[in-house]
Amino acid sequence: MSDPRVVLDPTGERQAPVRERTPRPATLDGAAVGLLDITKARGDVFLDRLEEQLRDRGAKVLRFAKPTFTKVAPIDLRREIAEQCDVVIEALAD
C-alpha cells in the first residue's frame, strides 16, 4: 500500500475564472433594454410596468422570454439578447 495519508481530490478541480463585469451605462437614453421574462407566474405583470417606465425615459425596449424557468436560457436566446441589447433586466417572480 502506498501512503494511506494521501487521498484523491473528489472535486472538479476547477478554478473559477475571474470575469470582469461589463461597465454600467451612465444613462439609458437611447439604450436598447432587454426584458427577460423567465416565465414564472406574474413575471409579465412586473415587466409590463417596467416597460412603460423605461419607454417614458426614452429607452428602446425589447421583450424576451425563456421557454421554462426550470432551465437556463437556451444559447440562441442568450446570443439574441447579447446582440440586440445594451442592458438586460431579468424578472424573477412568483
Partner 1 sequence: MTVLLPDGLVAVVKRDCPTCRLVAPVLADLRSRSLPLTIYSQDDPTFPDGLEPVDDTALDVSFALDVDTVPTLLRVEDGHETARLVGWSREQWAPFTGVADLGAGLPPHRPGCGSRTHDPDLAAARAAAADGARLASRRVELGPSEDDAEAMFERGWTDGLPVVPPTPERVARLLAGTTRDPDEIVAVVPPDLVPCTVEKVAVNAVMAGCRPDYLPVVLAAVEAACTDEFNIHGLLATTWFSGPLVIVNGPLTRAIGMNDGINALGQGNRANATIGRALQLVVRNVGGGRPGGVDRATLGQPGKYTFCFAEREHDSPWEPLHVTRGLPASSSAVTLFAAEGPRGIIDQLSRDAESLANTFAACLRATTHPKLALAFDAVLVVSPEHGRVFREAGCRRPSCSRSSTPGCSSRAPSSCAARAGSPRGSRTRCRT
Q: Is 14 in the site for partner 1 (CB under 8 A)?
A: yes
Task: Give min distance, CB of 43 to partner 1, in A.
Answer: 16
Q: Which positions ≥6 away from 78 have C-beta within 8 Å? A: none
CB-nearer residue toward partner 1: 27 or 70: 70
Q: In what order do the strands lie in the sheet with 87-91?
A: 60-65, 32-37, 87-91
Q: How far apart are CA 77 and CA 88, in angstroms?
A: 12
Task: Give min distance, CB of 64 to partner 1, in A.
Answer: 19
The residues of the shown chain that bind partner 1, judged by CB under 8 A, are 1-14, 70-72
